[in-house]
C-alpha cells in the first residue's frame, strides 16, 4: 500500500484530530521536509517564516516538538536555541538529543528514542513527517499507534499514510496547526 495524497479533505480530518487532542507529539525531519535540501549546511538555515511557525507550535503547551536530522547537532541547536523544542541528531551511529545531558549506548537510535517517548507519555496525537528512508523507520514505529499520522514528502514508495509534494506543503500544514 502506498501513501495517499494529503488533499484538502484528509488534511481537514488531520487538523480536526489535532485540535481535539490534548497531548500532541510532532516529529519533524529537517532537510527535505521543513526546508529544501541543500548540500551546503549554511544554506539550509531556517528563515524567519519557519522560525516563527515553529515558535508558535512549540510554544503551545499541548505540543512536544522534535526536529530530527542527520546533521551536526551543534549547528541545528544553534539555529533553534531560542525555541522550546528539542532536536534529535543521528550521525555516525551516534544519537544526540538536545537538552539531555546523557550518552546513549551504541545501537540506540531515533526510532528507539521515539518508542521510549511513546512509552513514557500517553500522546493522543502523533505526527511524523519526513522525506527519506530514515523517516520510514519512524513511520513503521508509530503507524499502529492510536492517533498517529505519518506524512511522506516527495516521490518514492513509502509506508506513510499520506504524501505531500514538497516542504512548501509542510509549511502550509504547520501554518494551519499554529494557533490551535
Least separation in angstroms between CB 128 and Mg ion: 12
Position among 25, 27, 32, 162 found at the interface with Mg ion (CB under 5 A): 32
The two counts, helices (H) then strands (E), for the chain are: 6, 8
Report how many residues bind Mg ion under the rule CB under 5 A.
5
CB 167 within 8 A of CB 9: no
Q: Among the candidate windows 21-29, 38-46, 71-79, 108-116, which touches Mg ion by CB under 5 A? A: 21-29
* Contact status: 136 vs Mg ion (CB under 5 A): no
Beta carbons within 8 Å of 41's beta carbon, 6+ residues apart: 71, 72, 75
Spacing of C-alpha 58 from chain mean position:
12
Position among 29, 90, 136, 141 found at the interface with Mg ion (CB under 5 A): 29
**What is the helix (H) or strand (E) element at residue 97, kind and residue range?**
strand 94-97
Least separation in angstroms between CB 179 and Mg ion: 26
Per-residue contact track with Mg ion, 115 to 134, x per CB under 5 A? ----------------xx--
Closer residue to Mg ion in complex, CB, 47/144: 47
Residue whose C-beta lies closest to Mg ion: 32
Q: Among the candidate windows 32-40, 82-90, 99-107, 157-165, which touches Mg ion by CB under 5 A? A: 32-40
Cα distance between residue 173 and residue 135, in whole Å: 18
Q: Please state the length of the chain.
A: 180
CB 149 within 8 A of CB 161: yes
Reduced to 3 states (helix: H, G, I; strand: E, B; else coil), residue 149 is strand
DSSP code at position 103: P
Least separation in angstroms between CB 152 and Mg ion: 11
Least separation in angstroms between CB 134 and Mg ion: 7
Cα distance between residue 69 and residue 44, in whole Å: 12
Strand partners, 150: 128
Closer residue to Mg ion in complex, CB, 30/125: 30
**Where along the sequence are the contacts to Mg ion (CB under 5 A)?**
29, 31-32, 131-132
Amino acid at each position: 500500500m502506498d501513501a495517499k495524497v494529503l488533499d484538502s479533505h484528509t488534511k481537514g480530518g488531520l487538523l480536526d484530530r489535532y485540535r481535539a487532542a490534548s497531548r500532541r507529539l510532532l516529529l519533524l525531519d529537517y532537510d527535505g521536509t521543513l526546508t529544501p535540501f541543500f548540500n551546503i549546511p549554511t544554506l539550509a538555515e531556517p528563515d524567519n517564516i519557519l522560525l516563527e511557525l515553529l515558535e508558535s507550535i512549540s510554544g503551545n503547551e499541548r505540543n512536544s516538538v522534535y526536529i530530527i536530522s542527520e546533521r551536526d547537532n551543534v549547528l541545528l541547536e544553534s539555529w533553534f536555541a531560542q525555541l522550546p523544542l528539542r532536536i534529535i541528531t543521528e550521525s555516525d551511529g551516534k544519537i544526540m538529543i538536545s537538552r539531555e545531558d546523557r550518552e546513549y549506548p551504541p545501537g540506540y537510535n531515533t526510532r528507539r528514542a521515539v518508542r521510549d517517548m511513546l512509552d513514557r507519555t500517553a500522546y493522543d496525537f502523533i505526527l511524523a513527517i519526513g522525506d527519506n528512508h530514515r523517516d520510514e523507520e519512524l513511520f513503521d514505529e508509530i503507524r499502529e499507534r492510536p492517533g498517529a499520522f505519518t506524512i511522506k514528502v516527495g516521490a518514492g514508495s513509502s509506508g506513510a499514510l499520506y504524501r505531500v509534494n514538497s516542504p512548501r506543503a509542510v509549511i502550509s500544514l504547520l501554518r494551519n496547526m499554529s494557533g490551535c
